[in-house]
Amino acid sequence: MNAYGSSADLAYLSATEARRLFTARELSPVELMRAVIDRAEQTEPTINAFTEQLFDEALEQARHAENRFLGKNGLTPRPLEGIPVATKEKHAIAGRSLTEGSLVNTGNTATENAPVIDRILDAGGIIHARTATPEFSIATFTHSRLWGVTRNPWNPEFTPGGSSGGAGASLAAGTALLASASDIGGSTRIPAAFTGTVGYKAPYGRIPGVAPLSADHYRGDGPMARTVDDCLTFANVLAGPDPRDHVSLRPKLILPTEYEAVAGMRIALCVRLGAYDVHPEVEANTRAVARDLTDAGAVVEEIELPWTKDDLLISLAAHFSTIFGALVSEIEAKHRDRMSTYATAFADTMAAARERVTYLDGLRVETRLQRELGEAMAPYDALICPTTAVPGLPAGDDLLGRLVVNGVDHGEPLWAAMTVPFNINNRCPVLNVPSGHSSWGLPTGLQIVGHTYDDPTVFRIGKALEQLRPWAYTPEHRPTAQSETLTR
**For every residue of the chain, which 3-state class applies, written as one string?**
CCCCCCHHHHHCCCHHHHHHHHHCCCCCHHHHHHHHHHHHHHHHHHHCCEEEECHHHHHHHHHHHHHHHCCHHHCCCCCCCCCEEEEECCCCCCCCECCCCCHHHCCCECCCCCHHHHHHHHCCCEEEEEECCCHHHCCCCCEECCCEECCECCECCECCCCCCHHHHHHHHHCCCCEEEEEECCCCCHHHHHHHCCEEEECCCCCCCCCCCHHHCCCCEEEEEECCHHHHHHHHHHHCCCECCECCCCCCCCCCCCCCCCCCCCEEEECCCCCCCCCCHHHHHHHHHHHHHHHHCCCEEEECCCCCCHHHHHHHHHHHHHHCHHHHHHHHHHHHHHHCCHHHHHHHHHHHHHHHHCCHHHHHHHHHHHHHHHHHHHCCCCEEEEECECCCCCECCCCCCCCCEECCEECCCHHHCECCCHHHHCCCCCEEEEEEEECCCCCEEEEEEEECCCCHHHHHHHHHHHHHHCCCCCCCCCCCCCCCHHHHC
Is residue 2, in this structure, part of any structural domain at all?
A: no
Query: Which one of the listed residues 7, 14, 88, 201 is annotated catalytic?
Result: 88
Q: Spell out a b/e string for 122-132, using b for 16 or more CB atoms within 10 Å of the CB, else e.
A: ebbbbbbbbbb
CATH of the domain at 376: 3.90.1300.10
Residue 163 annotated to the active site: yes
The CA distance from 225 to 221, in Å, is 14
Phi then psi for residue 39, to 5 deg, are -65, -40
Residue 88 annotated to the active site: yes
Phi then psi for residue 206, to 5 deg, are -65, -40
| Per-residue model confidence (pLDDT) at position 6 | 82
Is residue 170, in this structure, part of any structural domain at all?
A: yes
Is residue 457, in this structure, part of any structural domain at all?
A: yes
The CA distance from 39 to 480, in Å, is 10
| Per-residue model confidence (pLDDT) at position 469 | 97
Give the strand order in the sheet containing 126-131: 50-53, 126-131, 84-88, 178-183, 220-225, 198-201, 430-437, 443-450, 382-386, 266-269, 299-302
Mean pLDDT by 10 residues, the chain (488 residues): 73 98 98 98 97 98 97 94 98 98 98 98 98 98 98 98 98 98 98 98 98 96 98 98 97 98 98 97 98 98 98 98 96 97 98 97 98 98 98 97 92 96 98 98 98 98 98 91 41
Q: Are strands 178-183 and 220-225 parallel, antiparallel or unpaired?
A: antiparallel
| Per-residue model confidence (pLDDT) at position 3 | 55
Q: What count of Cα atoms within 13 Å lies in the side-chain half-sphere of residue 371?
A: 6
- Tens digit of each residue's pLDDT (9 = 90 or more) over 96-146: 999 999 999 999 999 999 999 999 999 999 999 999 999 999 999 999 999
Is residue 369, in this structure, part of any structural domain at all?
A: yes
Is residue 348, in this structure, part of any structural domain at all?
A: yes
Task: Tell me the C-alpha to C-alpha distance, in Å, between residue 178 and each of 57, 352, 426.
Answer: 18, 39, 23
Domain that holds residue 448: 7-487
Query: Which one of the listed residues 7, 28, 102, 163 is annotated catalytic?
Result: 163
Query: Which one of the listed residues 7, 14, 187, 214 is annotated catalytic?
Result: 187
Per the structure, the count of domains in the chain is 1
Is residue 1, in this structure, part of any structural domain at all?
A: no
Is residue 380, in this structure, part of any structural domain at all?
A: yes
**If we measure between CA atoms, which residue out of 6, 10, 402 comes closest to residue 175?**
10
Is residue 273, in this structure, part of any structural domain at all?
A: yes
The CA distance from 32 to 12, in Å, is 10
